[in-house]
Structure 1
């Protein structure tokens, strides 16, 4: 019986992927998807036990990824939904690159995220309402992209949000004025030619012709 138990324990240790492995796999999916002309991701070796030895990755004492610093790294390509698997991530810094495509809705799973910096890329599509799940978020900078659609009203529930910048996009509709949005100035929303100004008394003012 003891041998049988030890055998199954051995199989569990060998076959069961560790959290570090899962997070390494998630990050490696990003490496696969992006073009990296400066080889800043060269150290991202999927054969290592965990990603905590990789450049631009910071981990906590439990070898869980807490920070990803890839700002101004000359990367291009699409952001991968796998980033939503980095459960303890606090800082996602991907600004000033050439990322294209949508912001993955899966980023709304990053419940510990404090700062989300995706500014100055070429991201398209709408702002995911799922970002309203990031209850610890203090900084959200999406400016300088090509985002379209309305500003999700759900984001006004982010009570800890101190910095918001969605300027220089192609957003439309009206600007929320309730919750955390009550303290943001027009600088947070400037240079969106299809935004029609603040909502009146917290009600959505729909525009003739729609907003896509």
Structure 2
């Protein structure tokens, strides 16, 4: 069947656009890279610790402070004590292979996104010594692999969610020096945590 000139022009136009889609930065990065770039876009980085975070690369595994597994998926983000300022973004919850989120001793403010509860492989969450506000998300109860949760020395308010008592692997928990109130849970792993934490 012959192709009329208008259909031919549409096809030609589509073919001309293909290289743009394949080589455009927003299409060349993977989902982990997109999530980290969303985080980078809200950060102030006066000491240039994030200078290697190039969104045009195929994946973020060559970026400093990022560790990947053999399948080029991000498993560790180490930005502790990096003098960065900004806030956490919901996109961090898309790092589905992440095991370690180390953001301690910075100037990160705002609320903790509930989307961090989607990080089902997370082992350690270190957000201590920042300026975080709001409440501890109840969604953290979904972090069944979590062993270490350090939120101390922030401005977090509200109560300690009772849902956290269902975390089977939680070994270390510290929320000291915040604005928390209410009853301290004693069930599950909380039976072993000192009151000082």
Query: Could you say whether these structures have the same fold, taking a TM-score greater than 0.5 normalized by the shorter chain as the test?
Result: yes
Query: 5+ residue gaps in structure 2?
Result: 1-17
1:154 paired with 2:163, answer yes
How far residue 14 of structure 1 moved from its aligned partner, in angstroms, is 4.2
Is the partner of 1:120 in helix, strand or coil?
coil
1:196: which partner in 2? none
Relative to structure 1, the CA distance from residue 17 to residue 111 in structure 2 (aligned partners, 3 Å threshold; closer, same or farther) is farther
How far residue 187 of structure 1 moved from its aligned partner, in angstroms, is 1.5
1:201: which partner in 2? none
1:23: which partner in 2? 32
1:209: which partner in 2? none
1:92 paired with 2:92, answer no
RMSD: 1.9
1:74: which partner in 2? 83
Partners of 2:184 and 2:105 lie apart in 1 by 25
Partners of 2:34 and 2:73 lie apart in 1 by 13
TM-score, length-scaled by structure 1: 0.80
Partners of 1:129 and 1:180 lie apart in 2 by 16
1:164 paired with 2:176, answer no
How many equivalent pairs are there?
178
Partners of 1:89 and 1:17 lie apart in 2 by 22
Partners of 1:38 and 1:106 lie apart in 2 by 28
Partners of 1:21 and 1:62 lie apart in 2 by 12
How far residue 17 of structure 1 moved from its aligned partner, in angstroms, is 5.4
Question: Runs of at least 4 residues of structure 1 off by over 3 A?
Answer: 13-18
1:104 paired with 2:113, answer yes
How far residue 109 of structure 1 moved from its aligned partner, in angstroms, is 0.3
What does the per-residue CA deviation read over 1:38-65, in whole Å, with 9 as the maximum and x for residues that have no partner?
0101100000000000000000000000
Alignment match of 1:45 (pick from 51, 54, 57): 54
How far residue 143 of structure 1 moved from its aligned partner, in angstroms, is 0.1
What does the per-residue CA deviation read over 1:166-192, in whole Å, with 9 as the maximum and x for residues that have no partner?
00000011100111111111111xxxx
TM-score, length-scaled by structure 2: 0.86
Q: Which has the larger radius of gyration?
A: 2
Alignment match of 2:147 (pick from 138, 147, 153): 138
